[in-house]
């Protein structure tokens, strides 16, 4: 029995790390997507586990949350229930929520403060609030104490883009660091696509071969399965065409555009490790991530006179306030230019 099993694994598609890709991943979903947490993972009584199952289905269905979001929310809720089990000395039930006090929630926040950063604490509390609201809307449970609890204040985060010169250097760097010619061309195509079109890494790796940017526009499916049209620069089209011509694997129209060393869907972790190699070689900071190319896309458009509303559409932001974060970056740049160039600033 062991020998046939070994042969099957030997022929199974793998990513660049050698990990075997699951049938769920190779069928139609790419990049590789996490599964929702199994109900057995939650430290809860049966009635609460059943409610968690409804909540998870609601997130993925009605809310159209991505598998990454669903899995992350599940982990945050699981951490909260793990704490309650130890804190109360018994499994949490639906009726337990009405008995919780503000002190119980503050004890959870203090417990998490010793383990994670403030942003993760705030997100975890937000997940708990959302879960309790879900229970309340369905008449399953309520927690009055949660309404008087305040979330920890967070410093306003500012995107950390690359400079124009650094972004260009990063996009052109892979050929010097990758021994395989076709993989180098793949990495150049992917990074050029991220920077040239402002895509999330999941959006780029989620493209099918039939959706490869070959014209002036490309349709991108973003968060919540919302679609948007993004212009495609000639340099992006050329990089994609160069990669497709060099790729040694036959790419099915419904298969992934970007593939790994063994021909399976390219794993996001492989891209992140490659980016780490690049920034170490180029002396860039840790903030030079694949997502930083998206930040750079938006910031450089804004610096070149781009309209904020247009940039919002290109990025696929649901709210303009999300896009407005990039104005802070541009303001900081202008202040730095002023401080270094104005005669009275220099005299100070």
On whether the CB atoms of residues 125 and 73 are closer than 8 A, the answer is no
For residue 14, give the nearest of 223, 211, 323, 260 by alpha carbon.
260
Task: Write down the pLDDT at residue 6.
Answer: 32
DSSP state of 90: S
Express each pLDDT in 234-281 by its tens digit.
999 999 999 999 999 999 999 999 999 999 999 999 999 989 988 888
Q: Is the pTM for the entire model greater than 0.75?
A: no
Q: Residue 150 contacts by C-beta under 8 Å, 6 or more apart in sequence? A: none
Q: Active site residue: 112, 294, 295, 300, which one?
A: 294
- Cα of 31 vs its chain's centroid, Å: 11
Q: Active site residue: 87, 111, 123, 200, which one?
A: 200
On whether the CB atoms of residues 59 and 15 are closer than 8 A, the answer is no
Among 13-27, 127-141, 174-188, 330-344, the range scoring the smallest mean pLDDT is: 13-27
Task: Write down the pLDDT at residue 239.
Answer: 95
129 is catalytic: no
87 is catalytic: no
223 is catalytic: yes
How far is it, in rounded angstroms, from Cα 243 to Cα 167? 20
How far is it, in rounded angstroms, from Cα 300 to Cα 236? 17
Using pLDDT thresholds of 50, 70 and 90, give the confidence band for residue 11: very low
Query: Which token pair is 149?
Result: 């609890």
Mean pLDDT of 221-243: 91
Domains by residue range for the chain, with CATH: 27-148 (1.10.150.130), 164-340 (1.10.443.10)
105 is catalytic: no
How far is it, in rounded angstroms, from Cα 160 to Cα 157? 9
């Amino acid at each position: 029995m062991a020998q046939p099993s070994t042969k099957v694994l030997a022929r199974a598609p793998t990513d660049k790390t050698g990990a075997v890709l699951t049938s769920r991943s190779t069928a139609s979903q790419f990049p590789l997507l996490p599964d929702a947490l199994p109900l057995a993972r939650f430290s809860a009584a049966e009635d609460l586990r059943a409610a968690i199952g409804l909540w998870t289905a609601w997130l993925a269905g009605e809310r159209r949350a991505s598998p990454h979001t669903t899995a992350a929310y599940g982990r945050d809720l699981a951490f909260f229930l793990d704490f309650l089990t130890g804190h109360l000395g018994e499994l949490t039930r639906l009726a337990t929520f009405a008995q919780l006090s503000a002190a119980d929630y503050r004890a959870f926040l203090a417990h998490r403060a010793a383990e994670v950063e403030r942003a993760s604490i705030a997100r975890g509390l937000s997940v708990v609030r959302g879960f309790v609201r879900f229970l309340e809307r369905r008449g399953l449970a309520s927690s009055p104490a949660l309404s008087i609890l305040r979330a920890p204040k967070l410093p306003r985060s500012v995107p950390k883009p690359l400079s124009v010169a650094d972004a260009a250097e990063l996009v052109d760097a892979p050929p010097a660091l990758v021994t395989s010619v076709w993989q180098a061309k793949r990495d150049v195509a992917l990074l050029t696509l991220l920077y040239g079109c402002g895509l999330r890494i999941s959006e780029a790796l989620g493209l099918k071969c039939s959706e490869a940017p070959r014209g002036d526009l490309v349709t991108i499916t973003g968060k919540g399965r919302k679609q948007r049209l993004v212009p495609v620069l000639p340099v992006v089209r050329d990089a994609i065409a160069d990669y497709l011509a060099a790729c040694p694997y036959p790419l099915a129209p419904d298969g992934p555009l970007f593939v790994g060393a063994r021909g399976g869907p390219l794993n996001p972790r492989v891209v992140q490790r490659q980016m780490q190699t690049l920034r170490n070689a180029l002396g860039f900071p840790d903030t030079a991530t694949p997502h930083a190319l998206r930040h750079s896309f938006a910031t450089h458009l804004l610096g070149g006179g781009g309209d904020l509303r247009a940039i919002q559409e290109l990025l696929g932001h649901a709210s303009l306030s999300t896009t407005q974060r990039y104005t802070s970056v541009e303001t900081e740049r202008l202040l730095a230019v002023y401080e270094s160039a104005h005669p009275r600033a220099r005299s100070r």
